[in-house]
Copies of this chain bind each other. A is one copy, B any other.
């Protein structure tokens, strides 16, 4: 999803995803047609239409690949992930004063090394400043903290299978995202890299499954052949042809629609991703939301460790992500409704005349939630780090989609870099390197008057940064306009120590025509300074 691509890009690990991922531009919908007792094409819509999404498509690659991007980014930073190592015991300090001290190690853990060399101990006791449980739907960390999952008690069973269809398969939309609703079953098709596809096949509620000896739903009777048989039934009258050797992977699993009651314990132990929210795979949200959780939490822990922020900053993680997870579950319930047996039954009843109408729009549902599902429209509530210091003028127009707003991500508005005229976006100038940014919208620089004004801006910025924060902040200068003959040297040196951070609103390397950046970002032509923490904005005028 677009926001996830932005996050990976901001860490410098997104390029391979852009290069190798499959791009899905369209979402298709096929529904049951009583006239033929098979499915029929219903609609095809542009899947991503958020104006601020830089790529108007979903970019798809399997989870192992995304993990390899993150692992290689970590390796470049000198961090090696240890596998075959899991916590088996966790206890928090009984000395309450330790929790307020960011230098303390108040979490005691026992780790078990599954692959310990013979003769070396297989367990290891460690003390940690922070623990993050990114350990999935069955999270050990969550259970150890005794955090309840709140939500639906009935759970649905999904099959997932990855394979390459043969060209002789007659279903026409293998390379688009598709929701397919037959009379008795439904599935979702996600095209993958290298011509593969993934199907998510709804297998009913867990009550429909036999129970194993311990009373748990038993998926062991399932197989790739069984899943493909169900899918073939759904696709009729179209065909799905594949060979056993073209099946790459399959699974079956039970999902609830649940959110953890808490995301954190004593500001020291956190849970992220599937450990704190589970939902159906249909919205394509699982990994996307989980990566956003991690991105939200990581910089906050870093700022606390560097003594740049008080421990209370960490409270904003749950305050921001838990309401978002709840919104997502609400979406998931509504969206999944379009696939349910009840909805299918209603469809059949409603269309007794055989006309074959569409279900009440799962695609439209997806698109109406697209600020959430794409991730680019997430808007966190006001807090210590998201309150604006100024209010909009009375009678001012509503902010447009690109407007800089406290609590929203900085949008990727197109700009041009002054020194080399390279086109880029405002986001490209804001890598997630741990530093906050002073975005200096300094107005136009076209003549001697402007040059003099720039010098006073340089002085103001220097005073501000020297006084308040120093190493935490990097500058990004966005000029409203430069003249065709404006020398780059007219930007005062204090504002251009890093030539890559001086940008201008222009439509192309070869033209100084304005691309309307100031107006779109909601910045007055006279200029503004905007303070940006990792994901948030505070704003005030200079």
Contacts and interface: CB of A to CB of B under 8 A. Distances in A.
Interface of A: 15, 19, 22-26, 46, 56-57, 167-168, 170, 172-176, 191, 195, 419-422, 487-489, 493, 496-500, 509-510
A167 B22 contact: no
B420 A499 contact: no
Contacts of A15: 15, 19
Consensus secondary structure, chain A interface? loop
Nearest to A484: B44
A187 B167 CA distance: 58
A57 B496 contact: no
A57 B493 contact: no
Contact of A56 (B175, B487, B493, B509): B509
Contacts of A500: 195
A497 B167 contact: yes
A23 B175 CA distance: 34
Given A25-B510, A509-B25, A172 B488 contact: yes
Contacts of A499: 167, 174-175, 195
Contact of A510 (B22, B46, B168, B488): B46
Nearest to A421: B25
Contacts of A487: 172
Contacts of A26: 421, 509
Contact of A420 (B46, B191, B421): B191
A22 B168 contact: no
Given A15-B19, A499-B167, A25 B420 contact: yes
A169 to B, nearest CB: 10
A195 B487 CA distance: 18
A174 B419 contact: yes
B22 A420 contact: yes
B172 A493 contact: no
A212 to B, nearest CB: 41
Contacts of A175: 419-420, 499
A167 B493 contact: yes
A493 B168 contact: yes
Given A195-B500, A509-B56, A509-B57, A23 B168 contact: no
Contacts of A489: 170, 172
A167 B492 CA distance: 10
A497 B496 CA distance: 54
A174 B168 CA distance: 57
Interface centre among A46, A172, A497, A500, by most chain B C-beta atoms within 10 angstroms, is A172
Contacts of A168: 493
A175 B509 CA distance: 13
Contacts of A25: 420-422, 509-510
Contact of A176 (B172, B195, B420): B420
7 contacts: A25-B509, A25-B510, A46-B510, A167-B493, A174-B499, A175-B420, A195-B500
Cβ-closest 10 pairs across A and B: A175-B420, A175-B419, A25-B509, A25-B421, A172-B487, A172-B488, A172-B489, A167-B497, A23-B422, A15-B19
B420 A23 contact: yes
A414 to B, nearest CB: 15
